[in-house]
Amino acid sequence: MPKAHTSYAEFYKQSIDQPDAFWAEQAKLIDWFEPFTRVCNDDKPPFVHWFEGGKTNLCHNAVDRHLATRGEQAALIYVSSETGVEKTYSFGQLHLEVQRMAASLKAMGVGRGDRVLIYMPMIAEAAFAMLACARIGAIHCVVFGGFASGSLASRIDDALPKVIVSADAGSRSGKVTAYKPLLDEAIRLSSHKPEAVLLVDRGLAAMDMTPGRDLRWSDLRAKYMHAVVACEALDSTAISYTIYTSGTTGKPKGVQRDTGGYAVALAASMRHIFDCNAGETYFSTSDIGWVVGHSYIIYGPLIAGMATIMYEGLPTHGMDGQPNGGIWWSLVEKYKVTAMFSAPTAVRVLKKQDPALLKKYDLSSLRALYLAGEPLDEPTARWISDGLNVPIIDNYWQTETGWPLITIANGVEKKPSKFGSPGIPMYGYRVKIVNELTGDELTGPNEKGVVVIEGPTPPGFMQTIWQDDARFVNTYWKSVPGKMVYSTFDWGIRDEDGYYFILGRTDDVINVAGHRLGTREIEESISGHVSVAEVAVVGVADALKGQVAMAFVVPRDSSVLGDRAAAMKLEGEIMKRVDGDLGAVARPSRVRFVSALPKTRSGKLLRRAIQAVCEGRDAGDLTTLDDPAALQQIRERLLS
């Protein structure tokens, strides 16, 4: 498809004024088994059906359609600095592996619409499993490998998977975490039980197999070595996957996505936003457990006919397991990476390494570094920009949107970035800033409000919350008074040039090292400890991780308050409990004990005031505060 547009403003305008014509054109970027009959059906807002009547398949678009032109070219480049494994799969080899996995899943009874929960480390087999699900029309639900049994169990009970695909273990910084016992415990805790569990044995940890339920990938792979499994012709609106994300309540939401709209959105973003071409190499340092991993490790680059690097390990260790802050740059050089995608946190980690490492490798293939997931602070952006000498493109989006919502579309028109701003609204997105209390649109420059999206939402955007349309509507579309608009739950402003600045969440979601976590989930885990009477968890600004979780606990036994040894013991137990329930990613950085928590007279916990105190800011209007001493106590505990 020729790039007919010269100005982004014109491109954007067409996407808003003539969405059907615009998206019908974008839809040519993918293969369709049957053409669609209607581009956008938004008869029942806020639900949107894209490309109705069309039939397609994500796996076909990611793998099969490239076989004729680039079957021998690299598709999946697997690199683990944890195990020293490095392996490239061509599109042809990926095609074979995916069919072996698809045949195995089918043999386990998985068919269209069945859920397959994937709880895996960053190994190539995780990609095979996702693509195999897409191939046969099963819905994959990838759960981040850093989550523990409690989180996993609640997701099993929500997704109701027929099959779970997992592995013996993950590894981080050389430390092996056995997944199988965590999975067994999760299945024990959950009410729903999967019919079968497929396990990849990496040789890292022994597995206690449950006869009649657990199967080994090596056995099934051998059995289906020569399997031929065709791609199912799926409705464009068929569910491709769900991915759980945190919100205001403790119960995670299964963000649900379609097939055709998602494929088109990703194909379009690879061209217009990431400015990439088939045959090049893309390197996203995220994890398949997050939305970035779905969109820009697996589907986006492969749909675009690119090789994608799947990296397991830290940015600070080399293939021999020894400290090496240049590992990512060595991969850029070796695989001639053209576009790299990471998070500000990772750059802040790299900033502590020897700056000479950036000069040691030939990074001339790299055209841009994309950063997302949390605010990009100016010193970090400047440091990496000076070091790499390529544009650093901040991009703002959410699990819910599936692809960037605010950034710069350099593939359409090169535009300058502004430090601190991800950019301007992307095509298809009607972004507004509204007053959170009145719902009135704020049109003036630098007026702070909530960032919202007016429907119809573009292709690739979440369809609904899995099995819960009412929650989808009530949570996202009814939070702004008097208006049916989608709330991002982020504060923002827009400057006089139309550039947006994101100023943090309006809800209780926190962002720790680029990981989205709900403080309510952490509170629920902590309050399950017998010695805990009450708890408040807040996100506190952190120079390296962006935010860290801090817990304030009212112990049942007040003697803990004056007994340092008892407090330390309880703090350790609480952290261990969070590790066991949710995983170490959610562990608070500190637990402080107090005799009371600051609440309003009506009993509402003032998390925001606690957060402000922790960050040394003014706690704002405290006229509704019931017990001012509680806040003072928190201030004192922070100093002690």
Q: Note the Cα 414 to chain centre separation in Å.
A: 27
Q: Please give the Cα distance from 549 to 588 (Å, whole number).
A: 5
C-beta of 12 vs 341, nearer to ligand PRX: 341
First to last CA, the chain: 63
C-beta of 394 vs 508, nearer to ligand PRX: 394
At closest approach, how far in Å is the CB of 490 from ligand PRX?
5
At closest approach, how far in Å is the CB of 502 from ligand PRX?
4
At closest approach, how far in Å is the CB of 354 from ligand PRX?
27
- What residue ranges in 373-519 does DSSP mark as E strands? 392-395, 406-407, 424-425, 430-434, 449-454, 464-465, 486-494, 500-505, 509-512, 515-518
> Which tokens belong to 213?
């339920």
At closest approach, how far in Å is the CB of 498 from ligand PRX?
17
C-beta of 221 vs 516, nearer to ligand PRX: 516
- Give the relative orientation of helices 519-527 and 564-581 as an angle to the nearest 10 degrees: 120
Q: Which residues bind ligand PRX (CB under 6 A)?
A: 245, 291-292, 372-375, 394-399, 422, 488, 490, 502, 505, 511, 516
C-beta of 395 vs 525, nearer to ligand PRX: 395
At closest approach, how far in Å is the CB of 425 from ligand PRX?
13
Q: Please give the Cα distance from 559 to 537 (Å, whole number).
A: 22
> Which tokens belong to 64?
């099969």
3-state secondary structure of 476: helix
CB half-sphere exposure, 78, CA atoms < 13 A: 19
C-beta of 63 vs 434, nearer to ligand PRX: 434
Q: Please give the Cα distance from 561 to 518 (Å, whole number).
A: 27
3-state secondary structure of 291: helix
Using CB atoms within 10 A of its CB, is residue 175 exposed (0-12), middle (13-18) or buried (19+)?
exposed
At closest approach, how far in Å is the CB of 505 from ligand PRX?
5
Q: Please give the Cα distance from 576 to 176 (Å, whole number).
A: 17
C-beta of 260 vs 422, nearer to ligand PRX: 422
Q: Please give the Cα distance from 134 to 231 (Å, whole number).
A: 8
At closest approach, how far in Å is the CB of 254 from ligand PRX?
13
C-beta of 505 vs 608, nearer to ligand PRX: 505
C-beta of 217 vs 403, nearer to ligand PRX: 403
C-beta of 8 vs 500, nearer to ligand PRX: 500
At closest approach, how far in Å is the CB of 394 from ligand PRX?
5
Q: Please give the Cα distance from 517 to 510 (Å, whole number).
A: 5
Q: Please give the Cα distance from 50 to 37 (Å, whole number).
A: 10
C-beta of 258 vs 394, nearer to ligand PRX: 394
C-beta of 91 vs 397, nearer to ligand PRX: 397
C-beta of 377 vs 573, nearer to ligand PRX: 377
**Residues 6+ positions from 46 with CB-CB distance below 8 Å:** 455, 456, 457, 472, 473, 476, 477, 484, 486
- Give the relative orientation of helices 564-581 and 149-159 as an angle to the nearest 10 degrees: 30
At closest approach, how far in Å is the CB of 488 from ligand PRX?
6
- What are the Cα distances from residue 521, in Å, to 157, 527, 596? 16, 10, 21
Check: CB of residue 82 under 8 Å from CB of residue 312: yes
At closest approach, how far in Å is the CB of 134 from ligand PRX?
20
At closest approach, how far in Å is the CB of 610 from ligand PRX?
19
At closest approach, how far in Å is the CB of 33 from ligand PRX?
30
The torsion region of residue 630 among left (phi > 0), alpha (psi -120 to 50) and beta comes to: alpha
Q: Note the Cα 581 to chain centre separation in Å.
A: 20
